[in-house]
């Protein structure tokens, strides 16, 4: 806050000195409004530069807006496109004859196994 107060004070002092110098005739004033021509010219130059910058920024914003709309349209189109069906494995055909358990298969898991004796 102190920095802003100091800057404002310096600007006021500078403008006061410029007006006093203009009244005494040290600085030229063509239109007799009390402000030196040097300051008026600088202010006009700064205004022109700011207006040019504002126009450039507006143009760039419009370009970015158009680019974003193009991207959004592309995304919408990509979502609408159907996906390609990927080839998968062929389905196995069912066996012609049903598989029936054999005699050896029937009791293998149900019966208790005996441990083999070591020699």
The pLDDT tens digits for 19-30 are: 888 888 788 878
Q: How far apart are CA 25 and CA 32, in angstroms?
A: 11
Q: Could you give the angle at the alpha carbon of 34 between the alpha carbons of 39 and 10, nearest 5°? A: 55
pLDDT above 90: percentage of residues in the chain: 33
Q: Which structural domain, as residue segments, surrounds residue 51?
A: 8-80
Q: Is residue 37 part of a domain?
A: yes
Residue 95 counted as domain residue: no
73 in any annotated domain: yes
Residue 70 placed within a domain: yes
What value does the mean pLDDT take over residues 50-57?
Answer: 96
Domain count, the chain: 1
Does the pTM exceed 0.75? Answer: no
- Please, what is the average pLDDT of the chain? 80
Is the Cβ–Cβ distance between 27 and 36 less than 8 Å? Answer: yes
Tell me whether residue 97 is in a domain.
no
Question: For residue range 2-22, what is the model confidence (pLDDT) as tens digits?
Answer: 999 999 999 999 888 888 888
Q: Is 92 a member of any domain?
A: no
Q: In this structure, is residue 116 part of a structural domain?
A: no
């Amino acid at each position: 806050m102190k920095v802003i107060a100091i800057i404002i004070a310096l600007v006021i002092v500078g403008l006061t000195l410029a007006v006093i110098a203009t009244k005494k005739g040290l600085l030229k004033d063509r239109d007799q409004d009390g402000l030196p021509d040097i300051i008026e010219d600088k202010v006009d130059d700064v205004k022109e530069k700011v207006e040019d910058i504002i126009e450039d920024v507006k143009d760039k914003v419009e370009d970015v807006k158009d680019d974003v709309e193009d991207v959004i349209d592309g995304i919408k189109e990509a979502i609408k496109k159907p996906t390609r069906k990927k080839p998968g494995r062929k389905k196995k055909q069912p066996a012609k004859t049903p598989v029936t358990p054999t005699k050896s298969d029937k009791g293998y898991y149900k019966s208790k196994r005996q441990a083999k004796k070591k020699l």
